[in-house]
Chains A and B, each alone.
Chain A
Amino acid sequence: MSKLLRALTDNRAFKSLVRHGYPEDARTRALAVYSNLFLHIHPLKVRARAIAFPRTFYLGGLSAACFFLLTLTGVALMVFYRPAVPQAYQDMKDLEFVVTLGVFTRNLHRFAAHAMVALVFLHLVVTFYRGAYRRPREFNWALGVALFVLTILLSYTGYLLPWDQLAFWAVTVGTKMAAAAPWVGERLRFLLLGGTQIGENALLRFYVLHCVALPLLAVVGIAVHVWRLRKDGGIYLGPAENTPLADSEKKAVDHEDLVSTWPHLLARELVAFLGITLALVLVSIGFNAPLEAIADPNLTPNPAKAPWYFLGLQELLHYYSPLVSGVVLPGLAIAALAVIPYFDLNLIRAPLWGEQRRSRLALLWGITFAGTGWLIFAGAHPVWPLIVPLLVIAIVMSFAALPSPPTALGRWLAQRSLPFWIFTWFVVISVALTVIGIFFRGPNWDYVLPWRDGVYF
């Protein structure tokens, strides 16, 4: 056995490929990372605490793993797909019925795409709660927000490609919302669709965006994102430990905490990759991606729902004009997310209820009552999906403001800062709206109970 191994490794060809030998001591381990184009995006050594699972839940890495899987399966699918009407739909049928592993590949692509949107969102949430957007990471945070938008666009442009009813009407709903933007909306829609209606031109444009333009942007964006992470001091460990210093890596730090990237980080990355792949493969074997009847512009399904990650916005569309729900609110949310770190808004995260408790409490309920009143009376009907989370959060905040919180949770909440509460409010509302849009809305956008009436999509 060892003879065979030696025969395989002890020759010029192998040594030209793996120059440093098997990485078993500090030097060769360093070389394994250092001399590899792909691996040397990592530092040679990382902190053990930084690569522990609970620190980040590996959400960024898992998102990247999804992107990798999507690229693989996407290239495979491109071989069988023509972006034309009605060939696109026929090719879907052929994938389903005659291409070896065609259904499986399509399923994997579809489910990985959904997983990536969800993972990137979770990554964003966790990063915020960890406070990892602080100086000097504000650019990387903004880039991350941009990558989140890019992920959604990637998924959305892919949604049209099967050219079935689901695709056609989901994209119809989405582009109608975008068209509400003042002045540029209609032009943007025309540019995106290559016409005024979703047709063959739109299909081709979405195809090019989905397969070439957006993935290129994403690759570059992800590369910069990871590179910036390393330049900004690696995984964020807290305000005390990686303080904003450009040369933080050179600073004397706790060397006992450092472990070599090979194998400690790489093994974890590999296991995480294997884990998400296995999960997606199992889902792809068990469930099939939906494919409805061929797109028919004359046959509107009821309800016509956008892709799931837009259903929060579509739920808003029920209450507000497309301009507000499709452009202003999501635009404001994205812009607010991107600029948070630049405003140095309580970066040290002083507890909200630390001082001036009474006046702040009054202000909180003032805003809450004003907001609730506006949400009840301003629109055509009360916006319950916004009102209820607003009130719940205001009540929890007031509970945290009690002078001596009775429980550990209360004490923890009492220490939370204003940005924490604002962001929590944003997350709760996004999730609530999206969940309502996905599960609780049926024909005519009326309320349904999913366990009784089933889920409409």
Chain B
Amino acid sequence: MPALRWAFAALSVLLLLALAGAWVKDSFSEWRGIQSRYNALAQRAGKPAVPVMIRQIWKPELDVVDRCPTCHLTMGGAPPLPGDPLFAPHPPIPHEVSALGCTLCHGGQGRATTAAAAHGPTPDWPRPILDRPNVEAGCGGCHSGIKTPSPALAERGEQLIAQYECEGCHHPPGALDTIGLKGLSEDWHDRHAGRVSDGGVAFAPLADEDVPVVAAALSTRIGAPRLMAGKSLAARLGCRGCHLINGLGADEGPRLDDGPRRATVATAELAQWHQEHLLDPPRRVKDSRMPRLGLSAPEAELLTVFVLSLRAQALPEAWLPRDRVRTSRLGERDLATDGASLYAALCSACHGAAAEGRKFDTTAQAFPALSNPVFLALADDEFLRRSIRLGRPGRRMPTWGKPGGLSPKEIDALATHLRSLERPAPVFAALVPVDPLDRAQGGQLFTAECAPCHGLTGEGSALAPPLAAKDNEVTTTDERIHGTLAAGVAGTAMGSFRTLEPRQLRAIITTVRELPRLELSRARWVPRVGDPVRGAALYPEHCARCHEPEKGKAEAKGPGLLGRPFLSVASDGYLAGTIIRGRPGTEMPAFGAAGKEHARLEPDRVADLVAWLRSHGTFAPPANAGTPKSP
């Protein structure tokens, strides 16, 4: 029994001590220490002390329970105190802290009352707090729909703002930094008329054409320069050619909409990951197909802010900001939708900023140069529109006509932009008068450019009508020859020849006019449909080397030709014209003439080849067949 008594006494005392310890551990919490520190500083500064207790911002409709003001006392209304950055006031922002709480913007765990749990990263809270360099990413959580203007416009606008010295009157410096928050009024420029600055400088009106440009640049000044710069950069680099962002983009790469859900990684670490990944994808993702973008380190940092901003915050309908309503409910885009801007945002990553074509070491395929003059000469607008809409299955070219892609109007804008890359049609009146020296050149040009289809004497072929037929009226006037050369004939292999200089055109016209007339009839000429059986034999010999994958490889060097979508878009004329004229600057040779590594294909053989290709898929004729390829 004495042993039991001792045991009883000792255990009782120990249990009481342990329970007291539990209470002590619970009571001497981090936040109590911070509030005591605040009170000590307040006493020194002669400010009132705050009662020691938990404080929170509670917004049930937003699911916000933010106990951050327990330590960040000034966010809960306590007067700011000097001497400790923790007790500094919030930097000016367009929102009331008490109206939205903290975590909607900053991330982190609002219910937590310890710094470690609140700021993260913790395994039980998927949103660690955004660190300083990336804090603007928080704006994007709700304001996902803020529009980026056309890259060219915005850049020029910034130059103009400096040039017109707007900030000479709008001071202090930074006075215009948040001007875009409320949106500029329609008459913002007119209202400046007659205003005189404090320094006595009268307002000098901007040039009319500069007003919208300056407005575009000002609209991006919403107090989040890094986020907007990152977003503009993403819109310029063509990220959406592979990634879905804010409801627009392809599915080649992972969608970036969902936002990163890396629970156990601090934002700084995640940002580091993104920066390194953006600079050199394989360093972070083994076997990544994402090409090196050739970014500078600061650019990678700005893009990181944007990528981090994509963790869209679930918001009740009534709390959606205007910009987000416009993008998520009204179908507007968060970027300018003119052709050039869409090209930059969607196409430029693969096809090049100036549509010059690109080749990355991550894929065997090269991305075609859309500005290639021969391509633009042969592809009519409908071809461009439909290629964009249907994409190129088997290639990296996405199907832009499906959900997550583009509207018909946007596809039109893109096609128009691509067409604008072609050299404008020369005006007939502007053609130089014929020079005797050009006559000789005319013969050479005719042989090189016309004869592959029309024959050396203009006798015509399976593909092309006889130019020298005595009833051929087109070849009787300079204007009509010029018209055909400048615009081509839609649906046929006759593309435009804007690739030629006016002098060269003049020379060809003269040569054609002076062709000796032959006993042939233009009226009775019809294009001859080739023989697919003979074409089948030609394909392996001339085409398969590039257009079919090599043994053991998944991808061919050149684009696949036998897919239905492509064949439904490409007319016989486009196919034949491309075979004859090739694609200068790429490995696709012009089969209209013999070259180093290929033999010439007679027009009849080209027709056979086209017939065989055609047997793999029918062409859906565009609505505007028969009209000139381009206006």
A271 with B22: in contact, given A278-B14, A293-B263 (CB under 8 Å)?
Answer: no
Q: Contact check: which of A93, A97, A101, A277 meets B15 at CB < 8 Å?
A: A277
Report the number of A-B residue pairs with Cβ-Cβ less than 8 Å: 68
Residues of A84-103 at the interface with B, using a CB-CB cut-off of 8 Å, are: 90, 93-94, 96-98, 100-101, 103
| A78 at the B interface (CB under 8 A) | no
30 A-B pairs whose Cβ atoms sit less than 8 Å apart in the complex: A90-B65, A93-B111, A93-B112, A96-B117, A97-B67, A97-B111, A97-B117, A98-B113, A103-B26, A104-B22, A104-B25, A263-B1, A267-B1, A267-B4, A267-B8, A270-B8, A271-B7, A271-B8, A274-B8, A274-B11, A277-B15, A278-B15, A281-B18, A281-B19, A285-B18, A285-B22, A291-B124, A292-B124, A293-B124, A293-B126
Q: Which residues of A are found within 8 Å of B14, using beta-carbon distances? A: 278
Residues of A256-306 at the interface with B, using a CB-CB cut-off of 8 Å, are: 263-264, 267-268, 270-271, 274-275, 277-278, 281-282, 284-285, 291-293
CA–CA, A258 and B11, complex, Å: 27
Q: Which residues of A are found within 8 Å of B124, using beta-carbon distances? A: 164, 291-293
| B123 at the A interface (CB under 8 A) | yes
Residues of chain B at the chain A interface (Cβ within 8 Å): 1, 4-5, 7-8, 11-12, 14-15, 18-19, 21-23, 25-26, 54, 65, 67, 109, 111-114, 117, 123-126, 263
CA–CA, A118 and B114, complex, Å: 34
Q: Which residues of B are found within 8 Å of A104, using beta-carbon distances? A: 22, 25-26
- The answer to whether A274 touches B15, judged by C-beta atoms less than 8 angstroms apart, is yes
Shortest A85–chain B CB gap in Å is 13
Least CB separation from B6: chain A residue: A271
- The answer to whether A98 touches B67, judged by C-beta atoms less than 8 angstroms apart, is yes
A94 with B7: in contact, given A278-B18, A285-B25 (CB under 8 Å)?
Answer: no
CA–CA, A381 and B531, complex, Å: 61
Q: Contact check: which of A94, A101, A282 meets B26 at CB < 8 Å?
A: A101
- The answer to whether B123 touches A282, judged by C-beta atoms less than 8 angstroms apart, is no
Q: Which residues of A are found within 8 Å of B15, using beta-carbon distances? A: 274, 277-278, 281
Shortest B335–chain A CB gap in Å is 30
Shortest B456–chain A CB gap in Å is 70
Shortest B6–chain A CB gap in Å is 10
Count of A interface residues, CB-CB < 8 Å? 28
Q: Which residues of B are found within 8 Å of A263, using beta-carbon distances? A: 1
CA–CA, A93 and B22, complex, Å: 19
Q: Which residues of A are found within 8 Å of B19, using beta-carbon distances? A: 281
Q: Which residues of B are found within 8 Å of A101, using beta-carbon distances? A: 22-23, 26
A136-166 vs B, CB cutoff 8 Å, 1 = contact: the mask equals: 0000000000000000000000000000100
- The answer to whether A100 touches B26, judged by C-beta atoms less than 8 angstroms apart, is yes
A182-210 vs B, CB cutoff 8 Å, 1 = contact: the mask equals: 00000000000000000000000000000
Q: Which residues of B are found within 8 Å of A275, using beta-carbon distances? A: 7, 11
A62-82 vs B, CB cutoff 8 Å, 1 = contact: the mask equals: 000000000000000000000
Q: Which residues of B are found within 8 Å of A285, using beta-carbon distances? A: 18, 21-22, 25
Given contacts A267-B1, A278-B11, 9 further A-B contacts (CB under 8 A): A96-B112, A98-B67, A104-B22, A104-B26, A267-B8, A271-B4, A281-B18, A291-B124, A293-B125
Q: Which residues of A are found within 8 Å of B18, using beta-carbon distances? A: 278, 281-282, 285
Q: Which residues of B are found within 8 Å of A291, using beta-carbon distances? A: 124
Shortest A407–chain B CB gap in Å is 34
Least CB separation from B111: chain A residue: A93
Q: Which residues of B are found within 8 Å of A274, using beta-carbon distances? A: 8, 11-12, 15
Q: Which residues of A are found within 8 Å of B112, using beta-carbon distances? A: 93, 96-97
Q: Which residues of A are found within 8 Å of B5, using beta-carbon distances? A: 267
Shortest B403–chain A CB gap in Å is 22
A98 with B11: in contact, given A164-B124, A281-B19 (CB under 8 Å)?
Answer: no
Shortest B228–chain A CB gap in Å is 32
CA–CA, A97 and B15, complex, Å: 24
Shortest A284–chain B CB gap in Å is 7
Least CB separation from A93: chain B residue: B111
Shortest B102–chain A CB gap in Å is 15
Q: Which residues of A are found within 8 Å of B1, using beta-carbon distances? A: 263-264, 267
Least CB separation from B19: chain A residue: A281
Shortest B518–chain A CB gap in Å is 75
CA–CA, A104 and B24, complex, Å: 11
Q: Which residues of A are found within 8 Å of B7, using beta-carbon distances? A: 271, 275
Q: Contact check: which of B12, B67, B113, B123 meets A292 at CB < 8 Å?
A: B123
CA–CA, A370 and B21, complex, Å: 58
Shortest A22–chain B CB gap in Å is 16
Q: Which residues of B are found within 8 Å of A277, using beta-carbon distances? A: 15
- The answer to whether A271 touches B11, judged by C-beta atoms less than 8 angstroms apart, is yes
CA–CA, A270 and B12, complex, Å: 10
Q: Contact check: which of B8, B67, B111, B114 meets A90 at CB < 8 Å?
A: B111
Q: Contact check: which of B12, B22, B114, B123 meets A97 at CB < 8 Å?
A: B114
Q: Which residues of B are found within 8 Å of A103, using beta-carbon distances? A: 26
Q: Which residues of B are found within 8 Å of A271, using beta-carbon distances? A: 4, 7-8, 11
CA–CA, A284 and B15, complex, Å: 12
Shortest A258–chain B CB gap in Å is 16
Least CB separation from B3: chain A residue: A271
In the A-B complex, the 8 residue pairs with the closest CB atoms? A274-B11, A97-B113, A93-B111, A281-B18, A104-B22, A278-B15, A267-B4, A271-B7
CA–CA, A96 and B109, complex, Å: 12
Q: Which residues of A are found within 8 Å of B125, using beta-carbon distances? A: 293
Q: Which residues of A are found within 8 Å of B11, using beta-carbon distances? A: 271, 274-275, 278
CA–CA, A271 and B6, complex, Å: 10
Least CB separation from A100: chain B residue: B26
Shortest A254–chain B CB gap in Å is 21
Q: Which residues of A are found within 8 Å of B126, using beta-carbon distances? A: 293
Q: Which residues of A are found within 8 Å of B26, using beta-carbon distances? A: 100-101, 103-104
Shortest B158–chain A CB gap in Å is 43
Q: Which residues of B are found within 8 Å of A292, using beta-carbon distances? A: 123-124
Q: Which residues of A are found within 8 Å of B67, using beta-carbon distances? A: 97-98
